[in-house]
Structure 1
Amino acid sequence: MDKRTLTADESFESRRRVRGALPDDGRQLRNVFNWTSPFEGAGAESKAPSLSAMLQSGQLTPTLQALIDRFGGGDTATAQGALSTIASAQGRTGITKLNSTQTFTGMPPAKFTATLHFRAVKDALTEVRAPVQQLEEWAVPQLLANDSVIANAVKTGGDNGVFQTIYPSVVPQILGLRYGDMNAAARRH
């Protein structure tokens, strides 16, 4: 396998790179951020949604008043206290800082779609085909194991080490993108 390992001494400038014209309308960056609300169902609204809705809207007070009038006892202090307490729930909510807090649970890698323009001036193989081939190589795993994890472990007897046995393939090359005009802007300031 032709795998190149960079040492800590190598600068960014000495690494393999692909250069191409990147038009303003030919690129798109897409990020997906995973935020969750782990306490979203912790309020009273989730436990008794109809009762909560009636309390918040004030619709429970006339219902209770009708029941008191129908079955008597509307003049007692207890009945009036109950009506007053229920009426005080109108316009209130169980939403708190806790159950409206969101937590960040991670994100998949950013997706960058771009149209690059290559032009051959002297040699089409080195100026166009080689950069395209390099981009294709960067998009796939550097090494793809032929066997499954179990078959690999049986064949090697675990001699490759724990992690190389569990993860026998090598991930695609980690890439970076640098716009040519970013360095010029940094030098001007």
Structure 2
Amino acid sequence: MQEKLLVLASGSPRRKELLAGLGLSFEVKVSEVDETFELGLDPTEIVQELAYKKAKAVANSLSHGLVLGADTIVVSEGVILGKPVDVEDAKRMLSKLSGRAHMVYTGIALVEAGGGMEIRDVSATKVVMKELSPELISGYVATGDPMDKAGSYGIQGAASAFIPEIQGDYFNVVGLPVSLVADHLARFGFELFTAKKGG
């Protein structure tokens, strides 16, 4: 019997690590889709649409298998914060988040190659950030850590010192709501912790 093929449509090392933690064998195929979105969409719709575009693009290149796509955005006071374009942009975002609560949304999409079943879902987490001094923000940005992350921070890294409280799924903020993904993978017949060791 052919082992089920699972493909992660993301180059994110954090998503790769989280998915690997479920003990599943999978491949990584990065989708090069346009990540612009329609203005006026709700943040939950945006992340699901972008996750779906990524998963669908990879699924269309395969003859079989299940493709997982994901997309994460940070929303502060109605403003969507993606990845910073430069150092000043990162500082601006962190100044905006400083001393306030914000929302992190990760959309996921599971698409079966060959026109099979498709599932979209979203996870939301409220994150509280401490008041950050301009000096602290500059020092953190200088580490380079914020530059490839939505909202200009990574909760699993040095910025963990800035986060006294979250409400919701921690892993959602890292970039993949693992429990939600596991639930949906089960619907496609994937069993956790079945990866062959050393393979």
Q: TM-score, length-normalised on structure 1? A: 0.19
In proportion to residue count, which structure has more strand?
2
Larger Rg: 1
Q: TM-score, length-normalised on structure 2? A: 0.18
Q: Which has the higher contact order (CA 8 A, sep 6+)?
A: 1
In proportion to residue count, which structure has more helix?
1
